[in-house]
Structure 1
Amino acid sequence: MPQQESRVKKSLLNARVNLIFYFLTLILSFFSRKIFLDTLGADFVGLTGTLQNLLGFLNLAELGIGSAIGYVLYKPLFEHDEGKINEIISVFGYLYRWIGFIILGAGIVLACFLPLIFPNTEFEMGVIFFAYFSFLASSLIGYFANYKQTLLGADQKNYVVTAYFQTANIIKVLIQMASAYYTGSYYLWVAIELTFGIIYSFILNWKINQVYPWLRSEVRQGKQLFKKYPEVMKYTKQLFVYKISWLIRFQSQNILIYFFSSLKMVAYYGNYSIIFDKLLFLSGNIFNSISASIGNLIAENNKEKIFQTYWELFSIRFIFTSIIAFSLYVSMPYFISFWLGPKYILTHTVFLLMVISLFFDQIRSITDQFLFGYGLFYDVWASILEAVVSISVSIVCGYCWGLEGVICGNISSNVFIAQIWKPIFLFRKGFNMKPKYYYTNLIIYVVLLCISLYISLYLINNILTSPNSLISFVFYVLICVAVFGFILISFLLLFTSGTRNIFRRIFNLKIFVR
Structure 2
Amino acid sequence: MKDSRIRNTLRNLTFGVFNQITTLLLNFFNRTIFIKVLGVEYLGISGLFTDLLMMLSLADLGFGTAMVYSFYKPLSDNDHNKVGSLIRFYKKMYSYIALAVASIGLAIFPFLDYIVKLDVPIPYLKIYYLIFLGNTVVSYLFVYKTSIINADQKNYLISKYQMWVNCGRILFQVLFLLITKNYFVYLVIQLLATFINNLIASNKADKLYPYIKESAFELSKTERKNIFENIKSVFIYKISGVLLNSTDNILISTMIGTVWVGLYSNYNLIIVAISNFIHILYSSATSSIGNVVITEKPKKRYEIFQSMQTISLVISSFVTVCLFVLFNDLIYVWLGTKYILDTFILVSIVLNFYLGSVLHPIWSYREATGLFVQTKYIMLIAAIENIFLSVIMGQYLGMAGILYASAISRLTTYFWYETKLLFKNYFEEKVRKYYIPLFFNMLFTIILITIIMQVSKYYLIDCWYKLIIKATLVGIVTLIAVVLIYRKTIGFKMLVNKIRRIYVSSDSN
8 A contact 2:69–2:151 mirrored in 1? no
**Equivalent residue number for residue 327 of structure 2:** 332
Q: CA deviation at 1:221?
A: 3.5
- CA distance in 1: counterparts of 2:260 and 2:111, whole angstroms: 32
**Equivalent residue number for residue 63 of structure 2:** 65
- 1:91 aligned to which of 83, 86, 107: 86
Structure 1 residues 391 and 216, CA gap change in structure 2 (3 angstroms): closer
Whichever residue aligns with residue 164 of structure 1, its letter is Y
Structure 1 residues 73 and 434, CA gap change in structure 2 (3 angstroms): farther
Structure 1 residues 117 and 355, CA gap change in structure 2 (3 angstroms): closer
8 A contact 1:90–1:222 mirrored in 2? yes
Matches within 5 A, 1:13-92: 13-32=11-30, 56-71=54-69, 76=73, 81-83=76-78, 87=82, 90-91=85-86
Cα-to-partner distance string for 1:461-495 (whole Å, 9 max, x where unaligned)? 4588433543334322322222222222222222x
Structure 1 residues 337 and 68, CA gap change in structure 2 (3 angstroms): same
Matches within 5 A, 1:158-173: 158-173=155-170
Cα-to-partner distance string for 1:406-430 (whole Å, 9 max, x where unaligned)? 333222222122321112233444x
Structure 1 residues 123 and 42, CA gap change in structure 2 (3 angstroms): farther
- CA distance in 2: counterparts of 1:180 and 1:170, whole angstroms: 15
Which secondary structure state, in structure 2, belongs to the residue aligned with residue 509 of structure 1? Answer: helix
- CA distance in 2: counterparts of 1:190 and 1:460, whole angstroms: 41
- 2:495 aligned to which of 482, 502, 514: 502
Matches within 5 A, 1:241-260: 241-257=236-252
Matches within 5 A, 1:356-375: 356-375=351-370
**Equivalent residue number for residue 507 of structure 2:** none
Structure 1 residues 131 and 71, CA gap change in structure 2 (3 angstroms): closer
Matches within 5 A, 1:154-193: 155=153, 157-175=154-172
Q: CA deviation at 1:323?
A: 1.2
8 A contact 1:90–1:221 mirrored in 2? yes
Matches within 5 A, 1:404-415: 404-415=400-411
Structure 1 residues 277 and 105, CA gap change in structure 2 (3 angstroms): closer
- 1:278 aligned to which of 253, 267, 270: 270
Q: CA deviation at 1:386?
A: 0.8
Point out where structure 2 has 5 or more consecutive residues left out of the alignment.
114-120, 505-509
- CA distance in 2: counterparts of 1:273 and 1:38, whole angstroms: 15
**Equivalent residue number for residue 447 of structure 2:** 454
Q: CA deviation at 1:138?
A: 2.7
- Asked if 1:478 corresponds to 2:490, the answer is no
CA RMSD of aligned residues (A): 4.6
Point out where structure 1 has 5 or more consecutive residues left out of the alignment.
none
8 A contact 2:146–2:202 mirrored in 1? yes
Structure 1 residues 313 and 235, CA gap change in structure 2 (3 angstroms): farther
Q: CA deviation at 1:282?
A: 2.9
In terms of mean alpha carbon deviation, does 389-398 or 342-351 score higher?
342-351
Which secondary structure state, in structure 2, belongs to the residue aligned with residue 508 of structure 1? Answer: helix
**Equivalent residue number for residue 146 of structure 2:** 146
- CA distance in 1: counterparts of 2:22 and 2:107, whole angstroms: 38
- CA distance in 1: counterparts of 2:337 and 2:283, whole angstroms: 41
Q: CA deviation at 1:382?
A: 0.4
Structure 1 residues 484 and 216, CA gap change in structure 2 (3 angstroms): same
Cα-to-partner distance string for 1:217-260 (whole Å, 9 max, x where unaligned)? 87753522x73486543342232222222222344434554676
Q: CA deviation at 1:363?
A: 1.7
Cα-to-partner distance string for 1:16-61 (whole Å, 9 max, x where unaligned)? 3233223323333455567778999999999988877665444322
Structure 1 residues 97 and 320, CA gap change in structure 2 (3 angstroms): farther
Whichever residue aligns with residue 357 of structure 2, its letter is Q
Cα-to-partner distance string for 1:430-451 (whole Å, 9 max, x where unaligned)? xx22252x53144124315534
- CA distance in 2: counterparts of 1:370 and 1:377, whole angstroms: 10
Whichever residue aligns with residue 417 of structure 1, its letter is T
- CA distance in 2: counterparts of 1:406 and 1:307, whole angstroms: 36
TM-score (norm 1): 0.76
- CA distance in 1: counterparts of 2:181 and 2:467, whole angstroms: 40
- CA distance in 1: counterparts of 2:181 and 2:344, whole angstroms: 46
Structure 1 residues 421 and 453, CA gap change in structure 2 (3 angstroms): same
- 1:488 aligned to which of 464, 482, 492: 482
Which secondary structure state, in structure 2, belongs to the residue aligned with residue 227 of structure 1? Answer: helix
Whichever residue aligns with residue 15 of structure 1, its letter is L
- CA distance in 2: counterparts of 1:419 and 1:221, whole angstroms: 45
